[in-house]
Structure 1
Amino acid sequence: MTALARAIEVTRRYGEVLALDRVSLDIRAGELVGLLGPNGAGKSTLINLFVGLRRPTSGTVELLGGSPQNPVTRRGIGVTPQETGLPESLRVGEIVGFVSAHFPEHTDKGELLDRFGLSDLVKRQIGGLSGGQKRRLAVALAFAGKPRMVFLDEPTTGLDVEARRSLWDGVRAFHDEGGTVLLTSHYLEEIEALAERVVVVGQGRVLADDTMRAVRDMVGVRRVSFAAEVVPELPGVLGSEREDGRINLVTTDPDRLVVELVRSGAPFSGLEIRPTTLEEAFLAITSKETADV
């Protein structure tokens, strides 16, 4: 498949801060890629390079076969950054029309508003919208110019569960029609719900780049769950929580953990071992990276 966005050995510094460290990454046509990483990992910097808002300190960035700095090239993409500012005196329908007018082709206004659950707000002034409604509008505007590719940086921040799922439907519809999406999110559930491919970044580097299942499997993280009043010190525990009387432990070596649990003599019942969620895999990958630095 053709790479619509490409970073080749890209480094980006902000003074003494190394935001990206020789990152190479291709986003291919038709993909829906989830970009994960802790705060400060370099996710937003990478998107800013792809969309032409920043230049790399070294290395090469390509967009739609050309330069991200070229305005003509950028007409082929849509972007929703983490923070947006919209003119509060304009109505929803007016801002959609204003943004659409900047593109040679654009999505039908009614179709766009309906896709993102904004049809009832077409005559509302932006200043009168809730924070969640403004966020949905900001995401919808990324699709106004019939883009080949969209970049969504934390698209559902501040949305309730229902609004988030509605927005997911809009993103899925674009992807089902052949569109390409790169999105970042703090909601790991969101990446699991949308992405086919997961890229995990940390310390400015790509730590993992594969399918959802492969990312889980490559770290070998398992969740060991059991009911107990007291939990002894156990080896290899990456994370733990107590929920509804059960202890949930995340580990890369469940066999050793269970052996040590039995040897401790601590009473327990209802032992379960299951594959990890993406969140658990993500924590394991980033924890390992921190330990290796």
Structure 2
Amino acid sequence: MPHFHDPVARLDGAIKRYGRLTALDGADLQLRRGELLALLGPNGAGKTTAIALLLGLIRADAGTAELFGQEPQRIEARRRIGVMLQNAELPPTLRVGELLRLTASYYPAPRALAESAELAGVADLLRRPYAKLSGGQQRRVQFALALCGRPELLFLDEPTVGMDVEARQQLWAAIRRLVAEGCSVLLTTHYLEEAEALADRVCVMSRGRMIHEGTVEALRARVALRRVRCLSTLSVEAVRDWPEVSEVRRDRERLHIATAAAEAVVRRLLDADPRLRELEVQRAGLAEAFTELTRDAAAAADTDQREAA
């Protein structure tokens, strides 16, 4: 019998090659029950290949992929998941309500149509033909189709692309509700604020490998940069010359400084400008952490390749 704490999805040393290209290079991943894991990485990092393995769309050349402790190709495992991929080919002439009824019929215990439509924010679109919808509306319908089977595990691949800010916020609220109900979610996104807002854990990929895995806070902590902001009459040129300053810019009266030595910079600011006001120091955001981490991993990989040559 599977234990409650067993992972609902797992990659263990997964390798996938396409000719001379290695898309996954020994990837390890575990998704636990009731958590949202954000899978991050630049284009070509291997995120789509990792998801395709877990969905059973392709098989690994080496290593293993499991859904609920089973091979992902098994129908018993696939009936327990919902999927929203970046590209979806749906019958354009069917109305939204017809698409929902059809998709729900594939599952043993689906949600009621009205519940799925309300959760995804498409209740006002049920009588509309799918092809007549805007790109953002179509994404909401695809989300409704992904959750209508009451899945235990939801794959969301760039779910909010093409949505306006309000629609994105509504989708975030729906995702939080599903996670609160115990659904596990594997999310890939290019919007780092989306991962920051939703994820329990983040896994960063670069060149087919997992280079970081942990909480959003732990990822931020990997980066020493701090953001210092203040109202000051000091010139950008003067502050740029300070050895502790990585970057500085001015937005009207406000200076924005990036530094790995915030205390030293704050002391210099107070010494140099007695009239300094509204001083703030913040840790770097997820975007800075992600950029620095993937840049370091790429540089290390290039070094390894040169040494091996």
Tell me the TM-score normalised to structure 2 length.
0.86
Q: Which residue of 2 aligns with 1:230?
A: 236
Give yes or no for contact 1:238–1:284 (8 Å, CA) kept in 2.
no
Q: Which residue of 1 aligns with 2:290?
A: 282
Give yes or no for contact 2:47–2:205 (8 Å, CA) kept in 1.
yes
Distance 1:8 1:85, change over 3 A: same
The more displaced of 76-85 and 247-256 is 247-256
Structure 2: distance between partners of 1:102 and 1:150: 16
Structure 2: distance between partners of 1:260 and 1:46: 48
Q: Which residue of 2 aligns with 1:178?
A: 182
The more displaced of 277-286 and 226-235 is 226-235
Structure 2: distance between partners of 1:240 and 1:35: 31
Distance 1:6 1:234, change over 3 A: farther
Give yes or no for contact 1:105–1:146 (8 Å, CA) kept in 2.
yes
Alignment: residue pair count: 292
**What is the CA deviation profile of residues 158-192 of structure 1, one whole-angstrom value per residue up to 9, with x for unaligned ones?**
10000001111111111111110010111111111
The gaps in structure 2 that reach 5 residues or longer are 302-309
- Return the offset for 1:97: 0.7
**What is the CA deviation profile of residues 16-73 of structure 1, one whole-angstrom value per residue up to 9, with x for unaligned ones?**
2222211111111111111111111111111111111121121110111100112232
- Return the offset for 1:89: 0.4
The letter for the 1-side match of 2:219 is V
Q: Which residue of 2 aligns with 1:3?
A: 7
**What is the CA deviation profile of residues 97-123 of structure 1, one whole-angstrom value per residue up to 9, with x for unaligned ones?**
111111122111000001111101110
1:64-75 matches, cutoff 5 A: 64-75=68-79
Alignment partner of 2:169: what SS?
Answer: helix
The structure 2 residue matched to 1:54, chosen from 45, 55, 58, is 58
The structure 1 residue matched to 2:45, chosen from 32, 41, 45, is 41
The gaps in structure 1 that reach 5 residues or longer are none
Q: Which residue of 1 aligns with 2:171?
A: 167
1:37-186 matches, cutoff 5 A: 37-186=41-190
Distance 1:154 1:243, change over 3 A: farther
Give yes or no for contact 1:241–1:249 (8 Å, CA) kept in 2.
yes
Q: Which residue of 2 aligns with 1:207?
A: 211
**What is the CA deviation profile of residues 76-107 of structure 1, one whole-angstrom value per residue up to 9, with x for unaligned ones?**
11111111121110000000011111112211
Structure 2: distance between partners of 1:129 and 1:79: 20
**What is the CA deviation profile of residues 128-167 of structure 1, one whole-angstrom value per residue up to 9, with x for unaligned ones?**
1111000111111111111110110000001000000111
- Return the offset for 1:246: 3.7
Tell me the TM-score normalised to structure 1 length.
0.90
Alignment partner of 2:182: what SS?
Answer: coil
Distance 1:249 1:45, change over 3 A: farther
The letter for the 2-side match of 1:181 is V
Structure 2: distance between partners of 1:217 and 1:171: 26
Structure 2: distance between partners of 1:9 and 1:56: 9
Structure 1: distance between partners of 2:32 and 2:261: 35
Give yes or no for contact 1:35–1:200 (8 Å, CA) kept in 2.
yes
1:7-26 matches, cutoff 5 A: 7-26=11-30
- Return the offset for 1:238: 6.5
- Return the offset for 1:252: 3.8
Q: State percent identity of aligned pairs.
A: 43
RMSD: 2.5
The letter for the 1-side match of 2:87 is E
- Return the offset for 1:268: 10
Structure 1: distance between partners of 2:275 and 2:64: 56
